[in-house]
Structure 1
Amino acid sequence: MTYCVGYWLEEGLVMVSDSRTNAGVDYISTYSKMHVFQPGPDRVFVLLAAGNLATTQAVVSAIRRDLDQGFEAGEASHGDLRHCDYLFEAAAYVGRVSVAVQKQSNAELRSAGASSEATFILGGQIGSEAHGLYLIYPQGNAIMATRETPYLQIGESKYGKPPLDNVGHANLCLDDAAKLCIMSQVLTQRSNLSVGPPFELAVIPSGGLTIARRIRLEADDPLLSEMIEIWSNAQREALYRLPSMPWQSR
């Protein structure tokens, strides 16, 4: 299992992923779930992946192959990331690649009691089009983040959802949203051992067509310890400030 979150803001996008892959309590390994594509000066994409690791790796490899073949041929490879005019077309392309990859191994995995399914979050911007964020389902269809629903999650999402709901909104600045998304990861890690560092973060300012910030936080990074300590202390203080219960003296 894994946990990834993408946040749409007026100022741009924040993308965060963990790096833990769990194939049982005795086999835990680390793989990056964040993949960056910049096939031209007029576009940038960040793809977050969750689900069957073989599927997600094959999808990323197929995307890179299509970009390489299109470049070598000197012509448009229909629908690849270099030649999409709109971000929703890029999301549809990733969905088609994912479905094709799943079909190749679906029967064998099902017979073994496993699933080939994978989900993705695609964020980015193309030219003068507004930046956007899409969640791509295993079936290949996608939904878009909006001002009213600015964040999208895949993987082990339930533990990191409360801070996003309670504190987050589309008008946060990019720095505050980055802190909030990392905090969402840390809280998820504390509740579920299938999610863990290194945590990767990418920030894409609106109109910049580039990744302005990209960091990788290891398990022993003091920033993570400081963040959870401050957050926990704030929660305790909030508990003490809650109104008295009816049976308590006021």
Structure 2
Amino acid sequence: MTYCVALHLRGGLVMLADTRTNAGVDNISTFRKLTVIETPGERVIGIMTAGNLALSQAIVNLATEQGIAMEEGGPLETLHTVPSMVRAAQLMGRAVREVYKIDGPSLEAQSENFSVSILLGGQIGQGQLRLFQIYSAGNYIEATEDTPYLQIGEHKYGKPIIDRAATFDTEVTDGIKLALISMDSTMRSNLSVGMPIDLMVYRRDALKVSMMRRIKDDDAYFKGLRQAWSDALTKAYQTIPAPDWLKSAK
């Protein structure tokens, strides 16, 4: 399993993914789940995937390298050539359906699900910064100002902090902290999500990646953040008054 979270904020985009792939308790590997396409001054697109690793890799390869004809007899398009982020989401959805045509029947014959989910975010030219989630059927939804984040994979443990604290107006720096806390909460509760983690930050209208960082176990900032968050939670619950009805129970 894996966990990926992306925040679409007024100031930009934060994308964070773990790297653990678990095919059983004795077969744990590290694979990058975050792919970034960057042509400085022209486009930045981030892709994060969860689910079946073989399917994810085939879909990303099709959308970024091999290309897809979006219309019958039309030219091959990739994420390097699409003119807008909406077209990028449509192309990624088409890539999902094309891989399903190839691998879906074989998986079903083995009683396996066609399991893949994708987060796609970025900006092309003068178009808007956008963030999409693409499903196994190839359809998609888009993050909005009301719900400025999307998650895939083992997301339930990291969702509460994002729900409570993240808004469209959250500063990018704070968004990075929230994403890291969300990831830490997930890793503490689920062994199928693990280090290292990959972070990409994009500032709106910059048309170049602002930050790419792989965070490992020995990262001083992340270690400090984990401890500070644990200490803050402990202090917070200790400062909340006990309920009045406890007095009557004595």
Q: TM-score, normalised by structure 2?
A: 0.92
1:91 match: secondary structure: helix
Distance 1:78 1:29 in 2: 33
1:142 counterpart residue number: 140
Describe the superposition over 1:167-203 as per-residue Cα deviations: whole angstroms up to 9, x where unpaired: 1111111111011101111110000000011110000
Is the contact made by 2:119 and 2:132 (CA closer than 8 Å) also made in structure 1? Answer: yes
Select which of 103, 119, 123 maps to 1:121.
Answer: 119
Distance 1:199 1:144 in 2: 24
Select which of 240, 243, 246 maps to 1:242.
Answer: 240
Q: Which moved more, 1:6-15 or 1:224-233?
A: 224-233
Distance 2:92 2:223 in 1: 36
2:25 counterpart residue number: 25
Select which of 154, 157, 167 maps to 1:169.
Answer: 167
2:128 counterpart residue number: 130
1:91 counterpart residue number: 89
Deviation at 1:61, TM superposition (A): 1.5
1:64 counterpart residue number: 64
Distance 1:243 1:79 in 2: 60
Select which of 170, 187, 190 maps to 1:192.
Answer: 190
- Compared with structure 1, are the counterparts of its residues 194 and 216 closer, same or farther at alpha carbon in structure 2 (3 Å cutoff)? same
1:7 counterpart residue number: 7
Q: Structure 1 regions of 5+ residues with no counterpart? A: 71-75
Percent of aligned pairs with the same residue?
39
1:24 match: secondary structure: coil
Distance 2:155 2:216 in 1: 21
Describe the superposition over 1:26-85 as per-residue Cα deviations: whole angstroms up to 9, x where unpaired: 111000000011257411100001111001111122123236x99xxxxx9444223322
Is the contact made by 1:17 and 1:48 (CA closer than 8 Å) also made in structure 2? Answer: yes
Describe the superposition over 1:86-109 as per-residue Cα deviations: whole angstroms up to 9, x where unpaired: 211100101101111122111222
Deviation at 1:154, TM superposition (A): 0.4
Distance 1:242 1:109 in 2: 51
1:108 match: secondary structure: helix
1:180 match: secondary structure: helix
Is the contact made by 1:204 and 1:212 (CA closer than 8 Å) also made in structure 2? Answer: yes
Distance 1:242 1:130 in 2: 43
1:115 match: secondary structure: coil
Q: Structure 2 regions of 5+ residues with no counterpart? A: none
1:129 match: secondary structure: coil
Q: CA RMSD in A?
A: 2.0
Q: TM-score, normalised by structure 1?
A: 0.92
- Output the amino acid matched with 2:43: R
- Compared with structure 1, are the counterparts of its residues 40 and 244 closer, same or farther at alpha carbon in structure 2 (3 Å cutoff)? closer
1:193 match: secondary structure: coil
* Residue 233 of structure 2 corresponds to residue 232 of structure 1: no
Distance 1:123 1:160 in 2: 20
- Output the amino acid matched with 2:21: T
